[in-house]
Amino acid sequence: MTKSTCSRVMETILAWSAFISMLAALYLALVYAPTERTMGDIQRIFYFHVASAWVGMLAFLVVFVASIAYLLTRRVSWDIYAQSSAEIGVFFTTIVLVTGPIWAKPIWNTWWTWDPRLTTTLILWFLYLAYGKLRSAIGEEEKKARLAAVFGILAFVVVPIDFFAIRWWRTMHPGALVSSNGIALAPDMLQAFFVSLFAFSLLYGYFMIRSVRIERMRAEIRWLKDEMFN
């Protein structure tokens, strides 16, 4: 079995696994989990909001690691991993920024407030949008990869700030799920939450494998064009 075939098999397995897991997550979040006493049914968006935030941060961690690896090795594959993960991270962070206001409006009576957690998430989103713009603005491939790697490493500084914002500052945003007082979810809610995390993580894996495969094909096409015309 060739490397390309293995990649396609893994992509198919992840696609079906993510699909089935997402169906399970939807059922658990919308039907199985009990209604939260204070916020009511709108709280159910929590399971997808937090799972999207988790995957967004995971994606930006991969950008950080892959960017370091690229600068150390100058291997194009690491640059492809970083580029693919950044695009996926922007997608999931966009979901966070859309679902957050939908959840907030009935609870806070406003779509948006310049809360520390919301603000750092928005900054994070803009930074990785800028990462993509930087890549599209530079034509020379080696220079593009090098500058994007440096940017990807520096931008990651905001990720831990975003994660710890609800612990470091007074905030309207719901607090951490795990604290000195224990876990802030009922057992049925916790099950739905973990299944959502698992489903969204599988979805990230599927998007990642598919995106990397496409970017490798584009890199091969660019190489062939260079060989033909230079």
All structural domains of the chain with their residue ranges: 43-175+187-229
pLDDT at 185: 76
pLDDT per position in the chain (230 positions), as tens? 566 677 778 889 999 999 999 999 999 999 998 888 888 888 889 899 999 999 999 999 999 999 999 999 999 999 999 999 999 999 999 999 999 889 888 887 888 888 888 899 999 999 999 999 999 999 888 999 999 999 999 999 999 998 887 777 666 566 556 555 556 678 888 999 999 999 999 999 999 999 999 888 887 777 676 667 66
pTM of the model: 0.88
Backbone angles phi, psi at 165, to 5 degrees: -55, -40
Q: Locate tokens 């603005």: which residue?
A: 137
Dihedral of alpha carbons 129, 132, 138, 144, sign: positive
What is the longest distance spanned by two Cα atoms in the chain? 68
Using alpha carbons only, give the angle 3, 8, 9 rounded to the nearest 5 degrees.
95
Q: Locate tokens 């876990």: which residue?
A: 183
pLDDT at 2: 66
